[in-house]
Structure 1
């Protein structure tokens, strides 16, 4: 017999990673509980138990509901009174309507009557089930947070005043929610994802009286506790605006003050859009709120494209598919038209007229859309790309580097960077990431290694040639750099160093307060401010005296302070299509370079022209425009849910005894060595301790692990990562993933991941584990031994990852520093007479171990793990060959198994030197 959830023990608040999940589950449990009360009655032992459960549920929901406009404080208290008076029939109707409206999102579309005497005949259809056309016709809903310590009568007055300002022609619909204090405002904007605007009034107080730990932890996210302790009451309003901008910079803030409005307006108020003096003109406030949201809602290019598609035109230019003519007139490809629908073809054109724009020379809606993207992502300039981030990387490298420039490169970065170095002719210093041998993956490049290479180049008199540091943030496996520390310490060695941060998998990070502090654009803006302060100048001067005459070891062990005249020069490339809403290959280049206008702009324009098609896909550009709108208005909500989904996966696996027999979630402690985790945080969830507060680690640690990436060790199943991905997850269960290593698979949650998707994944893993249990239970002794051998080979006998060896002297410019000219090696290999093929066998292994020097002609990239283990001009080490021979992967780019390794002949190397003119 199934026991209703209402009669089971409720999950502890500590079981929930977020208050959002707690809220959803508590309303669901309350509905079940009240339904059971209606059927069984309140008398008897069972009835009393149910009443007590309902009271506990109301008690746990009370502090949470104070931050939401629906159902609202008054309605919530009305429901509690119905329980107190034992009016269970009316309570059941009202709670059911609230729970269904919250689950379906119906409250966003219409008024939800809660009284039992009010008829509510409309369906509670889930938003996702409503047609896009119907949803597009509705008015988007949001909530406005009013910060003011008022009594119930005054609160009702504020609500009614804003309600009276509404007009039928308003493009959006909103509901106000009133909170009393600065801390409540901060909790509210970090908890209630519906909030799009905050009105800060003069009656607010500082401290929150809400003691629910799950809500209090939102305050700890950015460590605001100490910051608001010592401010005076007159500063509460301006400080609230500043903190709102810091935590959620996309929100609009409006400050109402009884101080001199002119004086207040001159202060730093974050993103405060308007200051009102003793504001009682609610219509003006209402119009400003709508105007502010409308500014983010606007999509210049997407709107222009829609308008173009509605225009009657005669097509006398390229593209027969434009306006769909070549399809509608066809007898044989009507199925294509039926599949895609007419709009995509009506919006296809090769013309830049009719209200459209040119991606190569944008002056109209594309330019405006790019400027809005720059605002959203915190850059100074943003450029759209329709060829993916591979092209973005090559554009930036070509724009910034010329032949002879030295670039420090993360060796296991994406192959587009390596090819960019070939195109630019840069001399490359490859830096090794710390290895994770047991999982056949690399971590990230330690700051000590970056500083070491810079100091070595400085000692050799080559620091003036060093142009750029290129790093992947975050890595495919989720390792995230301390971007600010890297930039500060590197600028302390070379004050005009350029940074290219490959954030292909990190575009979503801007819209989560915890993540944002480790993004290129946010750090660049922070550094611009910090470098101008007298504190920075004082700290730099003090450190210069302390380090006078210091050796390299001392400098390596010191946290360096950047000079106040350092130039902030940061570039970020992002695959919008990978982690946000965009059609495939939709990407962006974000620029925050103080010298862009004077030094780089023309070269950047030429590089952009070089790599960008003259026939870019307008649908991709439109999707980038719409994707920007989405993240400005709901990116915070979606990224929060994305993290919650990943944390749910961690907890579900960690608490399931059967899953633990065959699987293990790889923790931060497994993927990041202890010396890079100053906070000591090693796991995000432990069965005996519950959830770990990760805020401190994201502030202090050299590396952190992105929680949205869940790496699962599958070696215990006897299947390697590639087999588990292809044969089990994809072929059998239809679960798609991207990344595997020899004994791991990577599950990435994204802004589209649902709780149902998480539940299905856990169901699948449990089913796999059960099948393995049954298989081993019926296995013979020899079959069990075979299984154990396979597990041992995957878990214990993993081939060590090789380090980068070195470039051959023919492609180097000296013996004192490691940079190499991969462009020279790359094009030397075009001559087949200078190349040879050598089989991968024991003989070759012996030759290398005996000291013979063989040099690769090309990039060798195994999938997985997906990074080059050889580049043109690199000497092949015995360790690299051993690793290649141990790989059992389906593809190795640049390697022909029928011929062997392609290497330079000895004659070719003897007769060539990149140092010759």
Structure 2
């Protein structure tokens, strides 16, 4: 299978009509005669820009001419350019071949820091171009042959060997698609390689994900080494499944588990499936709707014991939890000092589970030292096992649904891999998508130092450059409104800074989480929350506001799609795939929004697709829409309403598994929200944003939750297209208008509204 990795020649005479140009072009022709491709560049130019393109090259040839050494000044400049370029390449790639090509200069003219990074020093007139070309092409082939990690290499070989497929899937390497016109479209869209690589687990030479053998096992061991953990398992249907595998491997019915209330739904599903008894820890929250950390003191073991004793279903089970689960990196980027948590709870709980779906990059940069669960330099527990689950498709470069489970053994015990694999088999398909496995393999290989560190540092730098650009625009706005970026007040002028720059200090006004432990948490700088005008950190509404939902609707219609939208904030993430062009486009789009707002442009001009779908906005202008939604938010004091909703006491009526058992037996009533206060929830109720469950099965609806649902109903009815999305809520059109229904457990009084039953 042929890949495109040209050998890059950098020579200012590459196109010149002189002896030097003639010789370098002769070398290029000889390289092409060997079957390789050549890319010619006439200047080092911006060494960093060329170095960032190292991933596209099979080797570099750097040319130096005698004229560049004619005097001290030119020699010094030549050596400086050469050094900068070589060191930039090696900062990202320690293996790609680099050759120096010159006329009469020798290694004694080159400094050792450059010389030691070279694969060879070629003199223009000593060997034939053909001989030199063979050597360069050989080194390039050796380099490229070592790039693919184990599973990806095996998959390439299998797809290329032309084997006839007699196994599943039924499209037989894509052949079935060729028999249908729409199948032809599908085939042409995805390409032959993807379809040839979509194979069955009966292909022995690719190994088995289910029992971790062959190339799959080799790749998992390779990822173990790169992520510096004791065990690593690839998972092909997301960290939702990774979380369930971990829990089913270590949690049994009746076990007490202490869980971050700011957990993902998969953890709640794991609680239900394992019949565990949950004791929830409440995180802080600010009036922007940003979820903060669980206070450090709440994680002290004595406080955990007290919380267990006051839980009506955990009180008789002792006060030692089987597991403590922490959301390590909240959606908005708040991190915990994982080493401190491990020291606090080591030996007091059997296992610690850090849901690091948004944090697989942390182990590769010292900015995150101690702020991730497993990896180089992290604390190893004496007695407790530590699990981390990571979505490598969120920040790293895997395909969607790619995930991995990391395990760190304690000093006194190791993971029982055979028992663990029983849970792995329980949740893993016998027909995994091999392209996802390959992407897990490649995503890990991409993070091999120094490349991984360079990739993470670039992502951090891009995020900081974006933050700096936004602040500069704010300064140049001379008091006129502009979007703000949530984060520390002080921002380093250049570079990534240190962890101290991103620590959350107690009482700092910018974060709004109140009196928290100094330095126990930090904000991940690549998670960027942009604030729109209209609401301050105290929850006070301004006279004029620009709801974030309108901004992100505008951005989407102009080709910019964000990750999450709040009331007056929206979230973007600087993964390793974000570029300057992408974030500058975001800045430009925000400036265009501001101009359109100031000019009060008609919605049918700036949001034509939206207005076509919702014609009731056809005669509105941008300011009018912003003012209308802002007024409703202000009238209902939504900032305090949502704060009360998440901070109000939640009363459990039964353990989640018992509630779900009633659901499975159909013992459910779908009640209008006006009738649900005091009733027991039968499903998970989750507003988006922020995607944090309000209620889980077995918990009672309280007044604060009902008030929020009433507001959502009124808002959704008045502003279609900007609806609050609440999982677990059903909307129905009745004689009395749109009504909201929720699933409650049967057995209590049931009512009807206006003659309309559920």
Matching of residue 696 in structure 1 with residue 642 in structure 2: no
Gaps of 5+ in 1: 1-30, 32-94, 119-137, 145-151, 175-289, 532-565, 669-681, 812-820, 910-917
Q: Work out whether 1:891 is the aligned partner of 2:725.
A: yes
- Contact kept in structure 1, 2:467 and 2:485, CA below 8 Å: no
Larger relative helix fraction: 1
Change (3 A) 1:715 1:836: farther
1:351 positional shift: 4.3
User: Contact (CA 8 Å) 1:684, 1:692: kept in 2 or not?
Assistant: no
2:670 corresponds to which residue?
837
- The answer to whether 1:746 aligns with 2:571 is yes
For residue 592 of structure 2, what is the aligned residue in structure 1? 767
CA distance in 2, matches of 1:663, 1:164: 52
Q: Structure 2 matches for 1:118-157, cutoff 5 A?
A: 141=96, 156=111
C-alpha distance in structure 2 between counterparts of 1:143 and 1:165, whole Å: 7
- In structure 2, the CA distance between the partners of 1:368 and 1:578, relative to structure 1 (3 Å rule), is same
The secondary structure found in structure 2 opposite 1:322 is coil
Alignment of 1:711 onto 2:567:
no
Query: CA, structure 1 residues 394+908, in 2 after alignment: closer, same or farther (shift >3 Å)?
Result: farther
Residue number in structure 1 paired with 2:350: 497
Question: In the alignment, what sits opposite 1:621?
Answer: 437
Kindly tell me: are residues 572 and 800 of structure 1, through their superposed partners in 2, closer, same or farther at Cα, counting changes over 3 Å?
same
Matched, 1:517 2:370: yes
1:414 to 245, 264, 288: 264
Aligned in 2, Cα 1:294/1:471: closer, same or farther, shift over 3 Å?
A: farther
Name the residue aligned to 1:126.
none
Q: Deviations over 1:466-493 (max 9, x none)?
A: 11111111111111111111221123xx
| Within-5 A mapping of 1:359-508 | 359-436=209-286, 438-451=287-300, 453-456=303-306, 462-463=317-318, 465-491=320-346, 494-508=347-361
Residue 803 in structure 1 maps to residue 646 in structure 2? yes
- 2:669 is the counterpart of 1:828: no
CA distance in 2, matches of 1:139, 1:389: 32
**Matched residues in 1 for 2:322 and 2:671: separation?**
37
- 1:110 has 2:60 as partner: yes
What is the rounded CA distance, in whole Å, between the counterparts of 1:295 and 1:504 in structure 2? 32
**Structure 2 residue 717 is the aligned partner of structure 1 residue 901:** no
Q: Following TM superposition, by how much is the alpha carbon of 1:835 offset from its aligned partner in structure 2, in angstroms?
A: 3.2
Deviation at 1:343, TM superposition (A): 1.4
Does the Cα contact within 8 Å between 1:855 and 1:873 map onto a contact in 2?
Answer: yes
Deviation of 1:728 (Å): 0.5
Q: Say whether the 8 Å CA contact 2:353–2:388 is kept in structure 1.
A: yes
Contact 2:546–2:627 (Cα < 8 Å) also in 1:
no
Structure 1 residue 870: deviation in Å?
0.9
Give, in angstroms, the shift of residue 104 of structure 1. Answer: 3.8
Per the alignment, in what secondary structure is the counterpart of residue 388 of structure 2?
Answer: strand
CA 884–448 in structure 1, closer or farther in 2 if over 3 Å, else same: farther
Q: Is the 8 A contact 1:407 1:466 kept in 2?
A: yes
- Corresponding residue SS for 2:344: helix
1:249-648 equivalences under 5 Å are: 297-353=147-203, 355-436=205-286, 438-451=287-300, 453-456=303-306, 462-463=317-318, 465-491=320-346, 494-522=347-375, 526-528=378-380, 566-594=382-410, 600-633=416-449, 634-648=451-465
Map Cα deviations across residues 475-527 of structure 1 (whole Å, 9 max, x no partner): 11111111111221123xx534311111111111121111243111038x632
Instruction: Report what 2:44 is aligned to.
Output: 98
Q: How does 1:642-791 map to 2 (within 5 A)?
A: 642-657=459-474, 661-668=480-487, 682-685=488-491, 693-696=497-500, 701-716=519-534, 718-725=545-552, 727-731=553-557, 733-775=558-600, 790-791=629-630
Structure 1, 299-308 or 884-893: larger mean CA deviation: 884-893
- Mapped to 2, the partners of 1:588 and 1:417 lie a distance apart of 16
- Alpha-carbon distance change, 163 to 792 in structure 1, aligned in 2, over 3 angstroms: same
The two structures have a TM-score, normalised by structure 2, of 0.71
Whether contact under 8 Å (1:805, 1:874) holds in the other structure is no
Q: Secondary structure at the match of 1:440?
A: coil
How far has the Cα of 1:430 moved from its partner?
1.3
Match in the other structure for 2:719 = none
CA positional deviation for 1:630? 0.8
Verify the 8 A CA contact 1:139 1:173 in the aligned structure 2.
Answer: no
Kindly indicate whether the alpha-carbon contact (under 8 Å) linking 2:176 and 2:183 is maintained by their aligned counterparts in 1: no
In 2, are the aligned partners of 1:140 and 1:173 still within 8 Å (CA)? Answer: no
Q: Secondary structure at 1:466's aligned position in 2?
A: coil
Between the aligned partners of 1:806 and 1:777, the Cα distance in structure 2 is 45
Pairs within 5 Å for 1:58-73: none
CA contact (8 A) 2:389 2:404 kept: yes
State the alpha-carbon separation in 2 of the partners of residues 379 and 571 from structure 1: 10
CA distance in 1, matches of 2:119, 2:687: 65
Report deviation, 1:765.
Answer: 0.9
Secondary structure of 2:257's aligned partner:
strand
Q: For residue 651 of structure 1, report the CA deviation from its aligned partner.
A: 1.3
Distance 1:874 1:170, change over 3 A: farther
- Please, which moves more after superposition, 609-618 or 735-744? 735-744
CA contact (8 A) 2:685 2:694 kept: yes
**How far 1:907 sits from its partner (Å)?**
4.6
Say whether the 8 Å CA contact 1:483–1:519 is kept in structure 2: yes
**Distance (whole Å) between structure 1 residues aligned to residue 375 and residue 402 of structure 2:** 22
- In 2, the alpha carbon distance for the partners of 1:375 and 1:140 equals 18
Structure 2: state its 5+ residue gaps. Answer: 1-11, 13-40, 69-92, 100-106, 122-131, 310-314, 504-517, 535-543, 604-620, 716-722, 733-739, 751-758
**Contact (CA 8 Å) 2:279, 2:308: kept in 1 or not?**
no
Using a 3 Å threshold, how does the CA distance of structure 1 residues 735 and 157 change in structure 2: closer, same or farther? closer
State whether residues 805 and 875 of structure 1, in contact with CA within 8 Å, keep that contact through their aligned partners in structure 2. Answer: no
Answer whether contact 2:668 2:746 (CA < 8 A) is retained: yes
CA gap of 1:828–1:331, structure 2 versus 1, over 3 A, is closer
- Between the aligned partners of 1:458 and 1:866, the Cα distance in structure 2 is 26
> Aligned partners of 2:308, 2:703: CA distance in 1, in Å?
31
Shift of 1:777: 13
Compared CA separation, residues 783 and 735, structure 1 to 2 (3 A) = closer
Q: 1:786: how far off?
A: 7.9
Deviation string for 1:48-103 (max 9, x for gaps)? xxxxxxxxxxxxxxxxxxxxxxxxxxxxxxxxxxxxxxxxxxxxxxx982215653
Number of aligned residue pairs: 597
Whole-Å Cα distance in 2 between the matches of residues 599 and 114 of structure 1?
56
The whole-number CA distance in structure 1 between the counterparts of 2:444 and 2:206 is 18
- RMSD across aligned C-alpha pairs, in angstroms? 3.8
- Within 5 Å, which residues of 2 pair with 1:41-56? none
